[in-house]
């Protein structure tokens, strides 16, 4: 599983994995691989939900380039 | 038409009038024209109809507005007033004169803006700029939300408050912009372009709080509409109040009635998304448990055959192991349903420990051919073949000496 999966991609793949496990009578190795992938995907999704650190910034133009600076609403 | 002498056609006055009338009625432009002029000879008839003349320096035209339209006027027309009138032109048969039949009328200052708005909207719509097919879906969990609005005021405050409430870890980047007055449209376009160059910005909200028609005018700019469509990520418009519609709203991928509503639409609720993940996690555990259950049932039915009822059979051990595994998975699955969200967090780790791989830790081995194919039946290999045995730790390379007739099927 790629670490760069977006939340949407991860959820979509997880849904697919669960469906396959639910419907198919898969050989042990295959079921095992799916199961492990599913566990990794749920971890990834939770990490995306928990991982982001709240940040509010503003874009300022400096010498034609855009730079970010912290922003505090008044 | 009656034939006159020679090649001349002789018409009655009514025939001539009707002929001209039909020509005017067939003309597409005259079916709906916008005319600006000054009101004179204004009369509000007791029937409710309005009669007046519309004139400029060089010409004049008679105009009528019937009661049903006149009732909808939001101002009182007077002589000398500059107005914009929308209506159709046709001939009044009795007098043989053409007239403007007005359906709508506005004072010229405001009316000019309105006309400009309608014409731009129609032109861009005809071009396909507002097509539903162009609308992009919003990301489920944007990494960063871009905001193009004024850095002070209620709009930005509301958007920040709502975003933080829905997703405490939200990341916002503001591109401060002028939202009214000269240069506002260009400033909004610049903000959009700057934000679209920030790599993690997955969606952009552009908007401002409520104001007068003139205050919101920057959002009726053609350049801004095109910049919205050219933006590489979806754009949500949030201009003014519920009832205000702007060109930017039509061009945007989604229109929000207010800035707060835009934040609600764009920033996902963290707890809702957590619920989705938890739901899938439970289904995953349940599906894994059922898969083990199916194997167990199969194993039991094999074990119950009399010929296999020998205690020294490997089968009995296998059954015990599988029972044990299934019991533990069931336990985890059951507690899962009852567990609260916090407990679910630790679950993935526990499930992993119970996964069929752990069976290897209890002495199972998986046999594979040198090509990596899993050996499930003795018939798959020949004496002398080399196979690989995957153990809990490490693997063994073995050579097959003899093909036996053991009850190997049950170990699958």
In percent, the amount of chain B with pLDDT more than 90 equals: 55
Residues of chain A contacting B151 with CB distance shorter than 8 Å: 58, 71, 73
Same domain, B23 and B90: yes
CATH of the domain at B67: 2.40.50.140
pTM of the predicted structure, to 2 decimals: 0.59
pLDDT at B1 over 80: no
Q: Of A25, A53, A58, which is closest to B174 when you measure between CB atoms?
A: A58
pLDDT tens profile B169-207: 899 999 999 999 999 999 999 999 999 999 899 999 999
Question: Could you tell me the CA-to-CA distances from B411 to B32, B60, B360, B403, B404 in Å, in that order?
Answer: 84, 101, 12, 16, 15
Number of other residues whose CB lies within 10 A of the CB of residue B251: 24
pLDDT at B407 over 60: no
Please tell me the predicted confidence (pLDDT) of residue B341.
42
Please tell me the predicted confidence (pLDDT) of residue B289.
82
Q: pLDDT grade, residue B294 (50/70/90)? A: confident
B357-380 average pLDDT score: 77
- Within an 8 Å CB–CB cutoff, is residue A30 touching chain B? no
B302 in a domain, yes or no?
Answer: no
Which segment of B16-25, B295-304, B310-319 scores lowest on mean pLDDT? Answer: B310-319
pLDDT tens profile A13-60: 999 998 888 886 777 778 878 888 988 999 899 888 887 678 899 998
List the Cα angle B357/B293/B364 in 5-degree steps.
30
Same domain, B149 and B97: no
pLDDT tens profile B76-105: 888 988 999 999 999 999 999 999 999 999
Number of structural domains in chain B: 3
Nearest to A39 by CA among B30, B263, B285, B336: B285
Number of other residues whose CB lies within 10 A of the CB of residue B357: 18
Q: Residue B63: which domain range?
A: 2-110
Same domain, B261 and B155: yes
Question: Could you tell me the CA-to-CA distances from B78 to B40, B50, B391 in Å, in that order?
Answer: 8, 11, 98
Same domain, B14 and B104: yes
Q: Is the ipTM of this complex over 0.95?
A: no
| B308/B65: higher pLDDT | B65
Chain B CA closest to residue A54: B169
Min Cα separation B100/chain A (Å): 54
Q: Of B151, B197, B288, which is closest to A35 when you measure between CB atoms?
A: B288
Q: pLDDT grade, residue B58 (50/70/90)? A: very high
Chain A CA closest to residue B192: A59
pLDDT tens profile B305-352: 665 555 555 566 666 666 666 565 555 444 444 443 444 455 455 555
B154 in a domain, yes or no?
Answer: yes
Same domain, B44 and B91: yes
Helix (H) / strand (E) element for B111: namely: helix B108-127
B174 in a domain, yes or no?
Answer: yes
| B336/B163: higher pLDDT | B163
- Within an 8 Å CB–CB cutoff, is residue A46 touching chain B? yes
Min Cα separation B47/chain A (Å): 58
Tell if the CB–CB gap between B291 and A52 is shorter than 8 Å: no
């Amino acid at each position: 599983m790629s670490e760069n999966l977006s939340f949407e991609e991860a959820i979509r793949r997880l849904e697919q994995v669960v469906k396959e496990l639910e419907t198919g009578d898969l050989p042990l190795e295959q079921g095992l691989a799916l199961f492990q992938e599913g566990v990794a995907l749920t971890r990834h999704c939770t990490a995306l939900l928990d991982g982001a650190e709240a940040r509010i910034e503003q874009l300022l133009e400096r010498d034609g380039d855009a730079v970010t600076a912290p922003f505090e609403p008044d | 038409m009656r034939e006159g002498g020679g090649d001349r056609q002789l018409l009655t006055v009514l025939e001539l009038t009707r002929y001209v009338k039909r020509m005017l009625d067939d003309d597409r432009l005259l079916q709906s024209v916008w005319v600006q002029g000054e009101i004179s000879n204004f009369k509000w008839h007791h029937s409710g109809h309005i009669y007046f003349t519309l004139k400029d320096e060089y010409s004049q035209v008679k105009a009528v507005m019937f009661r049903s339209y006149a009732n909808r006027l939001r101002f009182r027309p007077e002589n000398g007033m500059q107005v914009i009138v929308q209506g159709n032109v046709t001939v009044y048969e009795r007098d043989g004169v053409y007239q403007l039949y007005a359906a709508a009328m506005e004072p010229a200052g405001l009316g000019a803006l309105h006309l400009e708005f309608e014409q731009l909207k129609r032109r861009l719509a005809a071009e396909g700029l507002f097509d539903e097919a162009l609308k992009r879906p919003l990301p489920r969990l944007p990494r960063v939300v871009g905001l193009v609005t004024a850095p002070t005021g209620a709009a930005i405050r509301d958007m920040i408050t709502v975003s933080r409430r829905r997703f405490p870890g939200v990341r916002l980047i503001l591109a401060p912009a002028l939202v009214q007055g000269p240069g506002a449209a260009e400033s909004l376009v610049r903000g959009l372009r700057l934000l679209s160059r920030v790599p993690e910005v997955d969606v952009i909200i552009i908007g401002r709080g409520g104001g007068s028609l003139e205050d919101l005018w920057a959002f009726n700019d053609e350049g801004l509409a095109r910049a919205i469509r050219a933006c590489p990520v979806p754009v949500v418009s949030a201009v003014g109040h519920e009832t205000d519609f702007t060109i930017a709203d039509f061009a945007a991928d989604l229109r929000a009635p207010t800035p707060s509503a835009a934040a609600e639409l764009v920033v996902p609720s963290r707890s809702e998304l957590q619920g989705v993940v938890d739901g899938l996690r439970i289904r995953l555990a349940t599906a894994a448990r059922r898969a083990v259950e199916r194997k167990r049932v199969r194993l039991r039915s094999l074990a119950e055959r009399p010929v296999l009822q020998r205690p020294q059979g490997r089968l009995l051990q296998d059954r015990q192991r599988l029972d044990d595994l299934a019991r533990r998975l069931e336990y985890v699955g059951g507690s899962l349903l009852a567990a609260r969200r916090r407990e679910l967090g630790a679950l993935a780790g526990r499930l992993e420990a119970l996964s069929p791989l752990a069976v290897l830790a209890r002495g199972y081995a998986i046999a594979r051919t040198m090509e990596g194919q899993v050996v499930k039946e003795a018939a798959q290999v020949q004496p002398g073949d080399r196979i690989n045995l995957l153990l809990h730790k490490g693997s063994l390379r073995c050579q097959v000496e003899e093909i036996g007739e053991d009850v190997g099927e049950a170990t699958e």
